[in-house]
Structure 1
Amino acid sequence: MMDEDMLSKLHRMRDISIELCQIDLDDEASFQVIIKLQEEQVSLREMLNGLISNYRNVDQIQQLFIECYEYEKELQQKILQKRLFAEEQIDKIRAGALSKNVYSGYFRQPEGYFFDSRN
C-alpha cells in the first residue's frame, strides 16, 4: 500500500502544474503567484525525492508523473511563446531606434588631429 502522505504530495504537485498552466503570463501580479507555486514545487520535490524510488512501478504514481510532465511541457510552450514575442518587440524597438539615428541628420565628428608618420 502506498503512503497516503506521499500520494497527497504527488496530487499537490499535479495541482500546482495545472495552476501554473492556467496563470495569465501577461498579468504582472501573477509573477508573485508563480514564484510562490514554484517554491512549493521545489519543496515537494525535495520531500518526495527519496520516497518515489520505492513506488516507481505503481501505475497511479506513473500516471501522476505523466500528467505533471504534460502540464510542465504546456507551460514551457507558453513561456517560449511569450519570450519570442518579447524578443520580436525588442527587435522592432532596436530597428526603430537605428532608423531614427540614420535619418536624423545628426552627424558626429570628433575633433582631433591626424599625424602622418610619413614626412
Structure 2
Amino acid sequence: MNADVALNGLRRMKEISQALIALDYEDEQSLEELSILQNKQVELREIITPWLPALEQSEEVSQLIQECIEIERLLQVKLLDYRNIASEQLNKFQVGARFKSAYGSHFSQTEGYFVDRRK
C-alpha cells in the first residue's frame, strides 16, 4: 500500500463523516446505516493510521484532517442532543409507568365466604 491509498482513505473518511452528520437518527433504518458507516470508519482508520506521519507534511492532508475533526465535533454534538432527547422520552415513560402502577392498580377479589371460627 502506498501513501495515495491512505490519502484516498482520508478523503473517504471525510465523506463518511459528512454522511453520518446528514443521517436522521429518529429513523430506525438510519441507525443501521450509522452502524455500517462507523464500521467503515474503523477500517479506514486502520489503513490511514500507519501513514499519518508521512502524510501530515502535506498541506492538503492537514486541511483534510482538520475538516474531519470539525465534522466529528459537530457529529458528537448532534449525537449528544439525540441521546438527551431519547433519555427524556425514557424518563417520561418511566414516570408514566410508575404513575399507572401507583394509582391505576386494579384490586380484584374473588367471591367467597369468610368463616369465623371463634364465634
* TM-score bucket of the superposed structures, by smaller chain: 0.7 to 0.9
User: Could you list the runs of 5+ residues in structure 2 that have no partner in the other structure?
Assistant: 108-119
Helix, strand or coil for the counterpart of 2:81?
Answer: helix
Identity of paired residues, percent? Answer: 36
Report the TM-score, using the length of structure 1 for normalisation.
Answer: 0.79
Does structure 1 residue 75 correspond to structure 2 residue 66?
no
Q: Deviations over 1:64-115 (max 9, x none)?
A: 11111111111111111111111111111111122223323668xxxxxxxx
What is the TM-score with the length of structure 2 in the denominator?
A: 0.79
Structure 1 residues without counterparts, runs of 5 or longer:
108-119
Structure 1 runs of 4+ off > 4 angstroms?
A: none
Q: How does 1:1-119 map to 2 (within 5 A)?
A: 3-104=3-104
Structure richer in helix, relative to its length: 2
- 1:26 alignment partner, SS class: coil
Structure 2 contact 3–51 (Cα < 8 Å) conserved: no
CA-based RMSD: 1.9
How many residues are aligned here? 106
Amino acid at match of 1:73: R
